[in-house]
Structure 1
Amino acid sequence: MPQVTFALPSLSYVCRPLLDSVLPSLPPTVSDLDVPPLLREHFILSGYRPLGLPWRCCVLSLLQIHNQTLTTWSLLLAALALLLRFTGFAFLRGGGLLGFRLEGPEGQGLSVDPTSLPLVLYFISAIADLSCSAAANVLHCRSEEMHYFLFFLHSVSAAVYQYGCALALSLYSVDAIWTQSMLGQVYLPLTAILSWLSCALCCYTKLTLRSKFAIHRRICRLFPMGVAFLVIMGPFVRRLTIYRWSNGPALMLHFFQVVLFLLSTFFFCFPVPECFAPGHYDLAGNSHHVYHALRSLCTLVQQEALFHDFLWRRPALVRQMGEQHLLLTCISFFCPMVCCSMTALAMRSRARAELEKEQR
């Protein structure tokens, strides 16, 4: 008589369908010939993710080795480091929650602290820039339309970050003489216009110059890089010349930040070293990886320099500028944000129309 046994199904047999539905297997990477020209990078021949991945596969590709893994993780780790450092400074050195006072003029309530609002706005713009750049690099392989949308969004965040830098540097990194000078008076309005122009140019070149014109596109984007350099250098050129560097670490940090920015600009404009050995630096070491790593480090150094400048200028800031004028200056932060967002939406509509026209 045959024996009948009752064996419980194995755990892997029960859980495997659930795991496959939650964590699907990712398709292997493909060569540059298997993706549209829009997604290709010059001299990068492999390591591309196929177009049309589901959203969860795009997110899970963070754990996959492809030609944008190092870029994405350098941005995410920089954003995390920025957040932790800012939080620690806000509660240990900033006197509580930056941007607000827990006690008002009469001793009770919650009131706005105008002296720290520019630093808070700078932090928000820096986190937004790093996060939007990481999202664009992770999710852009969803579709060509999503590729355009995400990189237009990144252009907006980069322009807002430029103005956030200008706002913080013009208030914390210079003395009252520069702020009251003619250059100091026109610096923020001029930076707002240039930031919008850089966003518009980035969106336009992204839409009109495809992958086969990658070199031309990088050259055209030298303008926003130049704008960012003027934003960084403008406020404290005078300070670098009249103050002794031994007075504190802020000037040295600013100088280090400028060096990092110039190095990152070089790797942004020139595809080195992959141009000398196409295909050998697809997964690690290409100019795109180096550029984002240097820019991430530049942002961290810049925030550290602004912390020192904030502690230097905070006691006299309201007395020299006036609380109402300081608040109005902070409100100007939202003007380039709105203008750049409207420009990006218009460019997205044009990109969608062109994609529909190509599919017909």
Structure 2
Amino acid sequence: MLSDILQQLSTLTISIKHGCRLPCLFPSSLPSPSPTVTASQVPSLFREPYILSGYRPVRQDWRCYPLSLFQRHNESLNIWTHLLAVPLLLFRWWANVGTLGYTFDAASLPLGVFMLSALTYLFFSVAAHLLQSRSEHAHYFFFFLDYVGVAVHQYGCSLANYFYSSEPAWRESCVALLFLPGAMFFAWFSCAGCCFAKSVYQRPYPLERKICQLIPVTLAYLLDMSPVAHRLFTVSWTQEPSLPFHVLQIASFLLSALFFSCPIPERFFPGHCDFVGQGHQIFHLFLSLCTVLQLEALFQDYARRRDRVVEEFGERQLRGACVATLALFLCCILTALIAMRHVNKKLHRQRKERDN
């Protein structure tokens, strides 16, 4: 037995130049992902600006793409930055729950929805970057799913900010009266705008595509963060330990938005950021950091206000607003399916044109 294991260990192969091949300790029935290829060897849909190599070949066996989690390619850090954020969030959740004596009741529901929405967007993002290279159909499907996760998380953030981070003076404003339905609408609008931009525009993408993505997301963020912004300008920071965390999470989000909007630094170093250093990887890092910091801030706010939440808002509103998350999820899934139907027709036309 020991000799067999040693023999297997001695035959492990790692290709650093073209991407790591999986260890031979995996069962022989599992396929091994092919070496990565250059941008010219994959369809234009999969090419990223200024990223010249490290692409996974399309139309491999389906099992190759989950197994490429352990391969070196140009999506590796996009996957791992969000994948590793999951245990970090769970650890901080467990630590805070243990410290605060968290109980599952109406007052804690928005915090639970926030955590669930964060795990949803991270999981869908990992799935998109891990599996999208399989085919054109898979590329669209998984990125539409990614947009659904983003929308759900936007609404999860708005719920937590509304119930834990808002001040009485802000809740008397016109913005507060329309906040929850507005947050739900803009979350869906973000999903719809991203799905539309993805399904309609072709590479090389025009500026209009980025505008369709950024405007709905920006409007959603400005509304979602309005309770926090009001607190930052009206409350003494010495009395609110959560505010430094809120400032840091806002700064992290703004930096993530910068790297999402602009292909930097790879724009200035084409081919040198193929595996490490892409703007999208940095975007993922700051977005994960933003989520962790926001969780810390919300736990601080929850700890100070949990005894008053039900009294101030009412159990019915708390439960209704949280249940609405499911309605939003279903609306976004329907939107993604409609976009997918449009994409299927487009891909079918393209196949017919190639065949003719």
Q: 1:228 & 1:197 partners in 2: Cα distance?
A: 8
Mind listing any 5+ residue stretches in structure 2 that lack a counterpart?
12-23
Aligned partner of 1:278 in structure 2 is 270
Alignment equivalent of 1:229, drawn from 218, 221, 244: 221
Aligned partner of 2:58 in structure 1 is 51
Q: Give SS of 1:332's match.
A: helix
Report the CA distance between 1:316 and its aligned residue: 0.7
Alignment equivalent of 1:195, drawn from 166, 171, 187: 187
CA change 1:164–1:10 in 2 (3 A) is closer
Report the CA distance between 1:251 and its aligned residue: 0.6
Aligned partner of 2:46 in structure 1 is 39
Equivalent residues of 1:206, 1:217 under 8 A apart: yes
Percent identity of equivalent pairs:
41
Equivalent residues of 2:158, 2:225 under 8 A apart: no
CA change 1:215–1:278 in 2 (3 A) is farther
Equivalent residues of 1:132, 1:153 under 8 A apart: yes
Q: Give SS of 1:55's match.
A: coil
Aligned partner of 2:76 in structure 1 is 69
Aligned partner of 1:154 in structure 2 is 146
Aligned partner of 1:140 in structure 2 is 132
User: What is the identity, as a one-letter code, of the residue corresponding to 2:270?
Assistant: P
Structure 1 residue 298 corresponds to structure 2 residue 305 = no
Structure 1 residue 260 corresponds to structure 2 residue 233 = no
Aligned partner of 2:21 in structure 1 is none
Q: 1:123 & 1:10 partners in 2: Cα distance?
A: 45
Residue-by-residue CA offset, 1:61-83 (whole Å, 9 max, x unaligned): 11111111111101001111112
Report the CA distance between 1:177 and its aligned residue: 3.2
User: What is the identity, as a one-letter code, of the residue corresponding to 1:46?
Assistant: S
Q: 2:185 & 2:48 partners in 1: Cα distance?
A: 30
Aligned partner of 1:78 in structure 2 is 85
Residue-by-residue CA offset, 1:191-220 (whole Å, 9 max, x unaligned): 111111111110011111223116553343
Q: Give SS of 1:27's match.
A: coil
Mind listing any 5+ residue stretches in structure 1 that lack a counterpart?
1-8, 100-112
Q: 1:305 & 1:54 partners in 2: Cα distance?
A: 44
Residue-by-residue CA offset, 1:132-176 (whole Å, 9 max, x unaligned): 001100011111111111000111110111011001101100123
Q: 2:150 & 2:334 partners in 1: Cα distance?
A: 15
Q: 1:23 & 1:75 partners in 2: Cα distance?
A: 25
Structure number, greater radius of gyration: 1
Deviant stretches of 4+, over 3 Å: 9-13, 16-20
Deviates more, 1:320-329 or 1:133-142: 320-329
The TM-score, its normalising length taken from structure 2, stands at 0.89
Aligned partner of 2:311 in structure 1 is 319
Q: 2:93 & 2:61 partners in 1: Cα distance?
A: 35
Residue-by-residue CA offset, 1:109-128 (whole Å, 9 max, x unaligned): xxxx1100000011110100
Alignment equivalent of 1:128, drawn from 109, 112, 120: 120
Aligned partner of 1:27 in structure 2 is 34
Deviates more, 1:163-172 or 1:19-28: 19-28
Q: 1:138 & 1:224 partners in 2: Cα distance?
A: 26
Q: 2:204 & 2:297 partners in 1: Cα distance?
A: 40
Deviates more, 1:23-32 or 1:57-66: 23-32
Q: 1:312 & 1:30 partners in 2: Cα distance?
A: 54
Q: Give SS of 1:347's match.
A: helix
Residue-by-residue CA offset, 1:255-298 (whole Å, 9 max, x unaligned): 11111111111111111111112111111001011111111111
Q: CA RMSD in A?
A: 2.1
Report the CA distance between 1:36 and its aligned residue: 1.1
Residue-by-residue CA offset, 1:18-51 (whole Å, 9 max, x unaligned): 9453443321101111111111111111110011
Deviates more, 1:53-62 or 1:138-147: 53-62
Equivalent residues of 1:46, 1:282 under 8 A apart: yes
Equivalent residues of 1:41, 1:214 under 8 A apart: no
Q: 1:156 & 1:263 partners in 2: Cα distance?
A: 22
Deviates more, 1:315-324 or 1:251-260: 315-324
Report the CA distance between 1:183 and its aligned residue: 1.6
CA change 1:52–1:317 in 2 (3 A) is same
Report the CA distance between 1:228 and its aligned residue: 4.2
Q: Give SS of 2:205's match.
A: helix
Q: Give SS of 2:210's match.
A: helix
Residue-by-residue CA offset, 1:87-118 (whole Å, 9 max, x unaligned): 3323441434xx3xxxxxxxxxxxxx110000
User: What is the identity, as a one-letter code, of the residue corresponding to 2:194?
Assistant: C
